[in-house]
Structure 1
Amino acid sequence: MNEQNKAVLDYAARLLAPRAMSEKMLRDKLTAKNFPQEGIDYAVERLTELGALNDGEYARMVARYYVDRGFGRQKVDQELRRRGISHEIAQEILPGLAPCSRQVVAYLEKTIRGHYTDKRLLRKAAAGLYRRGFSWEQINTAIDVYCDPQLREEPGEQENVEDREE
């Protein structure tokens, strides 16, 4: 290993020490520092061999982050592409993402606040869910289920059940 390759490898390792990143992000940072392409290729190859650079693990970490915050598959896919994750890796991860039904319901409760027939609030909720990366099919289904009086537990019904148990 020549001195130039060693310098690129050392710098790349320092970049990866505090936080994970994709191969593309690392290459972009090294290129911005005007390192030669040969040194960049060597550093990326060596760090991948050592396990310090792993696009698959990084993509899973990013996907978990966004799913845990209530974002849908489209938003996760968009973030993965923005961070330089290949289409193949993204397609391996996206089908395994759990649906965010709990987060969708929480978002609908926060936005609609019991006004199930207010068209303006329903449009606002739908637009917000779309921006969070949910498909229109998922949004329409969630709103239909959430606003269906037969599927909703009414507070009065809950109290009656509790009264009967005593």
Structure 2
Amino acid sequence: MSSKNWDTLTADERAEWAGRVKTLRLASDLTQQELATEAKTSRQTINNMENGFTPQLATLKRVLNALGVDTDPVQFEKQTEIWLATIGTLIEAIPEERRSKHVDTAIGDLADGVRETRSNVVAFPTVGGAADYEDGSHQAVASRNDEGGVEEDDEE
């Protein structure tokens, strides 16, 4: 959906957003009842949305706002606009029958990033996201895809 004007959403666009509620709710680690309470609606309304019913605009906005989706007109930073265009192009390149799985994974990863940002307390000191062991017994090596590398040893 390309429209950023929430007040003019069509029924199809509302249905599309309602179809994202379950993914967003689960990524936020909320039950239907917890989301309903936050959104000042009923658990049955949340259940209906998650099962394909198209909600009224005001209800949809309250639910999405409770899930952290800003329904006010948005102006993104230039870099974010570039990322959105790139992500949109990649999403459209995925065959439709597999698209939802990959988009849901990406949304979950982004939601994790938001949760990490909100938390400023960590159990252990960290450097670059990896535990910082004073005795040097562990070394953090970052890799998105493990290509079968071997553990490196600092003591050479």
What is the TM-score when the length of structure 1 is the normalising length? 0.23
Bigger share in helix: 1
Which structure has the larger Rg over C-alpha atoms?
Answer: 1
